[in-house]
Structure 1
Amino acid sequence: MSKSSKVVPGSIVEGFVVCPFDNVHRLLPSRLAVHLVRCARNFPSAKMVRCPFNVTHVHSVADMMTHVACCPNRSTMVHYMNPETLPPVEPRPADFCVQSAEDWDAEPPAKTYNPRTHCENNFLILNPQGNAPAVRREIRERERRRFLQNNQF
């Protein structure tokens, strides 16, 4: 059985790009830049030059002047060289300062919260963690006496 190698229209081959160094090479457009670097090493005698606007555009020296005049990527360089033709940039909003009577650096009119005095005045049970066992025992005894004196039990 012999298999024919015909290219059917609408097949996978349509999405590929032809290498400018070797017409047999067919590759995906996303791989063209990498391939051109490698393929140029295999053809050092080829008089091919790269377009200054797009590295994937490779042409012969004779055709390059024509290509540069009508390259589709030339518009990017023209806009870069002539920035006055670009639309104007929106001006930055002016800095403003809000006048206020508040002074955040001044001390507050109310006293600050002290958790130790709050616990001593409101008969809360203290949890003496992080102390030695003897110190914890002493704190618990002191708290029992304080609660008994104020009839909290």
Structure 2
Amino acid sequence: MADPDPQQLQTCPYNASHQVATYRMHIHLQKCRKQYPNCNKVTCPFDATHIVNDVELDYHISTCSKRHLFDSQVYITDDDHRPVVPVIQQPSTRNDCEESWDDENVTSYKPEPLKRAQNIIVKCKGATPSERRQARMMGVQTYRPNEGGN
């Protein structure tokens, strides 16, 4: 069954005088549910916009148009639908390599020397506006872009 046109009007299950566009029905149902708290209506487990009387719920569940979505996920009739992919064990590369990064005694990366390069303008933090301006102007004067260009 095809989905209804979003601009098509539907009748509210709580009040028959309410005509609501299909795409707005879920919003309208939240508001109407609050206006009719003592109404004996329940929500379909397959579609939140299906509101039926509580005595009719079993019949609605057996005939609901959205039930096929649930059934297609729960009931698998063939194994043909699920391809079986063999798991291939990858050879271990640990035996081939003698290198161990844990054994090396290397200092961590320190970005401070790179910040002091002449082609980088460093922002001053914690300085007064005049000191920041002076440092920025000093950086512009000493800035030398890479000579490897054109």
- Give the TM-score normalised by structure 1: 0.48
- Which structure has greater helix proportion? 1
Q: What is the TM-score normalised by the length of structure 2? A: 0.49
User: Higher relative contact order at CA 8 Å, sep ≥6: structure 1 or structure 2?
Assistant: 2
